[in-house]
Amino acid sequence: MATVYILKSLNFDITYTGSTTDLIRRLKEHNNGECCYTRKYSPWRLMYREDFIDLSAARKRERYFKSCAGRKFIKKNLFSQ
């Protein structure tokens, strides 16, 4: 089982998209400053997740979310309130 996730920084107007096979461990790593990119923007809150059968399918969806069309989808569907 694999998960694509979208995090929102609680202190900055920034999101982070990633994929993992252990979402709880990965979220702890982001919030504990163990990830180079996300360290300076913590703490993070989980905003969205999608589960997949395998990591390759999750990574494909992650690439979509990081594309221009994917970022528009995220902005329209997750943060349009």
Write down the pLDDT at residue 79: 75
The set of long-range contacts for 58-66, using a CB threshold of 8 Å and a minimum separation of 24, is: 58/2, 58/3, 58/4, 58/19, 58/20, 59/2, 59/19, 61/4, 61/19, 62/4, 62/17, 62/18, 62/19, 65/4, 65/6, 65/17, 66/17
Report, at the CATH architecture level, how domain 2-78 is classified: 3-Layer(aba) Sandwich (3.40)
Residue 81 has pLDDT above 60, yes or no: no
Contact (Cβ atoms closer than 8 angstroms) between residue 65 and residue 71: yes
Global pTM exceeds 0.75: yes
pLDDT tens digit sequence for 33-76: 999 999 999 999 999 999 999 999 999 999 999 999 999 988 88
